[in-house]
Amino acid sequence: MNSMSNLRLFQLKNSTNKPNVDFSEWINIEFVDPFDNHRHGIRGVQIKQIMNEGLTMSSSRNLPCFCGSGKKQKFCHSDINPNSVVANYYKIVNRLNEEIKNNCQYFVCKRGCSDCCTNDFDVSINEFFTILNYLQIKCNDEQIEKICNKAKLNIASVTKDKNKVIISRCMFINERDDSCEIYEVRPIVCRKYGYYLPTQCDIINDNERAQQSLIEGSRIDAGENFRYFRSNNKIIQPVQKPLAYWFSKLENGKLSTSKMNKLYYASRNLPVSEYVQILKF
Please give the pLDDT value at position 217. Answer: 86
The pTM (predicted TM-score) of the whole model is 0.81
Please give the pLDDT value at position 40. Answer: 53
**Tens digits of per-residue pLDDT, 24-82?**
444 566 667 776 655 555 444 444 443 344 455 556 778 899 999 999 999 999 999 99
Please give the pLDDT value at position 169. Answer: 84
What string of pLDDT tens digits covers the 281 residues of the chain?
445 677 777 776 664 444 443 434 445 666 677 766 555 554 444 444 433 444 555 567 788 999 999 999 999 999 999 999 999 999 999 999 999 999 998 988 888 888 888 887 899 999 999 999 999 999 999 999 999 998 988 876 655 554 555 667 889 999 899 999 999 999 999 999 989 998 888 899 899 999 999 999 888 988 888 989 988 878 888 889 989 999 998 988 889 899 999 999 999 999 999 999 999 88
Contact 133, 268 (CB under 8 A): yes
